A = this chain, B = another copy of it.
Amino acid sequence: MLNHSDTLDRAFQALADPSRRAMVERLARGPASVSELAAPLAMTMAAVLQHLRVLEASGLVTTAKQGRVRTCAVDVEAFGAVQSWIDARRREWESRLDRLTRHLIDHPEMPSRKDPK
């Protein structure tokens, strides 16, 4: 539970930066080399590598080196943990709204219907 919580801490923290989200947006469309990842970003390679380290530490992105090229990819499972947490919250309030709606259908008495006139 603590580990899962820690995973979510690091994943949400990693996503709280526009450059890192831009990198995840690029990688969601397919794996890319570090150079491809850096190309559209207006920052130094050192800054790109620093953001990449945060993404790797969060588990959201994995990298693998083949020869001189390091290829980066989204870790679908780690991303799934974030998505599951978000989806669970949505299901909860949707279920609450369903219960409220059913209650209003079962108890349609509105104050105006109790009008004494």
Interface size on A, residues (CB 8 A): 30
The proximity string for A residues 80-101 relative to B, scoring 1 for CB distances below 8 Å and 0 otherwise, is 0011011111101100100000
Residue in B10, B74, B76, B86 whose CB lies within 8 Å of A82: B86
Closest-by-CB residue of B relative to A99 is B30
CA distance A63 to B45 in the complex (A): 43
Check: A29 CB closer than 8 A to any chain B CB. Answer: yes
Contact B92 A29, beta carbon cutoff 8 Å: yes
A-side residues, CB < 8 A to B, are: 5, 8-10, 12-13, 15-18, 21, 24-25, 28-30, 74, 76, 79, 82-83, 85-90, 92-93, 96
8 nearest A-B pairs in the assembled complex, by CB-CB distance: A12-B16, A13-B16, A28-B89, A28-B92, A12-B15, A5-B18, A12-B12, A28-B93
